[in-house]
Structure 1
Amino acid sequence: MLDPLVLLALMAVGMLAGFVDAIAGGGGMITVPALLSAGLPPVAALGTNKMQSIVGTGMAALTYWRRGYVNLPSLVPAIALTFAGSFLGALTVSKLDTSLLTIAVPVALIGIALYFLFAPKLSDADSTARLRFGPFVPVMGFLIGFYDGIFGPGTGSFFTIGFVLLFGLGLTRATGSTKALNFTSNLAALAIFIPQGAVVWPVAIVMALGQVIGGYVGARTGIRYGAKVIRPLVVVVSIALAIKLLVFP
């Protein structure tokens, strides 16, 4: 049984992670080290992290949707294929060599950070799409969902850059759609973690309470300030994730 003060601290960690995740993704960079520091074994830390983070991601997605920044009917095929990709990735992770990802992913994240830092036209206004939304967003969902199932870090950044660069969504709409697909990929992982008993429920519940608050406030902040806050936070989170993966893999 964890000390009540430790649980309270983890609730605060969940709140902070939910806020950051609702705007730019990368909340796991905050929560997983905190769970490991609290004494949870690695598999339990990962399962508990997925359980608590899905609550914050769901709250953020709901908030963006209620404010009109997520078109759920257009995302239904992508939601289905994101779930399938993430589930398949989680099932096959033990059979794949993911060592190359420890270098490739940080490089990709640094590239995303540079793009968001220097691209002159990033705003909340939609732009010209390079690919058709209907047939290709589900493909993106499957591929990034599969990546999330086998590795995970940077999933939100990859979804956001895809929606902006390939499908022309404004930054706030891209973030809202990212939350919907990120929620789905987390749900697929939980379909494997929960039956394995890899979720420490008291910890997951208190952190989920923090995630509800952080996810809601973060989503409202992203909606209110749009690209002004989303753009720099994506840059910071992407670089921080890249450094973490390179220095503390």
Structure 2
Amino acid sequence: MEDSILILILTAGFIGGFVDSAVGGGGLIRLPALLAAGLPSHTALATNKFGSTWAAGMSSAQYWMSGIVPKKAASIGWFLMLIMSILGAIAVTKISASWVIILVFIVLLVMFLYVLFKKEFGVEENIREDRIVPVTVSMSTVLGFYDGFLGPGTGNFLIAGYVKEAGFDMKRAAATSKIVNFGGNVGALILFASVGLVNYKVGIPFAIVNIIGGLLGSTYALKYGTKLLRPLFLIISFSLISKIGYDILLS
């Protein structure tokens, strides 16, 4: 692999790790770089998951130790995401995903417009303790399956769900979502690795820069909180909507 291509991949891995840890959506940056480097699509997906899973693990540990995460709910969510993502990954081999991506596009667009025009979204907390575990269970079950089946926007949906339904601010929602979503990453990686799709020659250095970017991203989220997370969330959500919309038009 040429040095220039390797630099592109590592740069994308670092930036993607940062964004993913802060608000989700880092795959928008990482995956195109891996595809541009000439990796086959399934290998690119698996190698991206390898790098992002290591980064998610380190960032999750940082969020866990910060003290802002509801640990019981996050643990339940992690386990459910793990199981459901494996089931989703199995299902994707048997069911067409074309109709699902259209539904995801519509839901993401509605969510983006809601957050855009509701200026106080995620700014102040009004935590509803009795709803944290039920919200986590319902989101992890549905989004875990979706994460294994298709994937785009899982972190964004989790963050929005915690803010809207559990009363979290953006910082607590991002931290909890990262830990829950880590379970889905592990589940998908288990499947990818078991069938030999991960390119470890690219994946190991890719994972290292993802970890560095991820730790910086979680540090950013914990330090600056909602004030800067909300606009970053909107930017990534808009980028994701644009990418999915473009893919739908092409298909």
TM-score by length of 1: 0.94
| Cα 1:218–1:10 shift into 2, 3 Å | same
Is the Cα contact below 8 Å between 2:170 and 2:226 reproduced in 1?
Answer: yes
**Structure 2 counterpart of 1:102:** 101
**Structure 2 counterpart of 1:9:** 8
Aligned mates of 2:29, 2:167 — CA distance in 1: 30
Summarize deviations over 1:190-219 as a string: whole Å, max 9, x none.
Answer: 111001111000111111111111111111
Moved more, 163-172 or 113-122: 113-122
Tell me how far 1:161 sits from its aligned partner. Answer: 0.7
**Structure 1 counterpart of 2:184:** 185
**Structure 2 counterpart of 1:42:** 41
**Structure 2 counterpart of 1:194:** 193
Aligned mates of 2:133, 2:180 — CA distance in 1: 15
Tell me how far 1:66 sits from its aligned partner. Answer: 2.0
**Structure 2 counterpart of 1:32:** 31
Summarize deviations over 1:201-241 as a string: whole Å, max 9, x none.
Answer: 01111111111111111111111111111111111111111
Structure 1: which 4+ aligned runs deviate by more than 6 Å?
none
Amino acid at match of 1:139: S
**Structure 1 counterpart of 2:243:** 244
Amino acid at match of 2:11: A
Moved more, 111-120 or 190-199: 111-120
| Alignment size in residue pairs | 248
Moved more, 188-197 or 102-111: 102-111
Q: What percent identity do the matched residue pairs reach?
A: 36
Aligned mates of 1:192, 1:92 — CA distance in 2: 12
Tell me how far 1:136 sits from its aligned partner. Answer: 3.6
List gaps (5 residues or longer) in structure 2: none
**Structure 2 counterpart of 1:154:** 153
Q: CA RMSD in A?
A: 1.7
Is the Cα contact below 8 Å between 2:122 and 2:163 reproduced in 1?
Answer: no
Aligned mates of 2:102, 2:133 — CA distance in 1: 32
Tell me how far 1:76 sits from its aligned partner. Answer: 1.9
Is the Cα contact below 8 Å between 2:17 and 2:211 reproduced in 1?
Answer: yes
Moved more, 155-164 or 127-136: 127-136
Tell me how far 1:111 sits from its aligned partner. Answer: 1.7
TM-score by length of 2: 0.93
List gaps (5 residues or longer) in structure 1: none
**Structure 2 counterpart of 1:79:** 78
Amino acid at match of 1:33: P
Aligned mates of 1:227, 1:185 — CA distance in 2: 25
SS across alignment from 1:97 = coil
Is the Cα contact below 8 Å between 2:89 and 2:149 reproduced in 1?
Answer: yes
SS across alignment from 2:126 = coil
**Structure 2 counterpart of 1:66:** 65
SS across alignment from 2:29 = helix
Summarize deviations over 1:156-198 as a string: whole Å, max 9, x none.
Answer: 0011011111111111010001100111101000111001111
**Structure 1 counterpart of 2:136:** 137
SS across alignment from 1:197 = coil
Tell me how far 1:125 sits from its aligned partner. Answer: 3.6
Is the Cα contact below 8 Å between 2:80 and 2:183 reproduced in 1?
Answer: no
SS across alignment from 2:133 = helix
Aligned mates of 2:70, 2:178 — CA distance in 1: 12
Amino acid at match of 1:89: G
Aligned mates of 1:67, 1:124 — CA distance in 2: 19
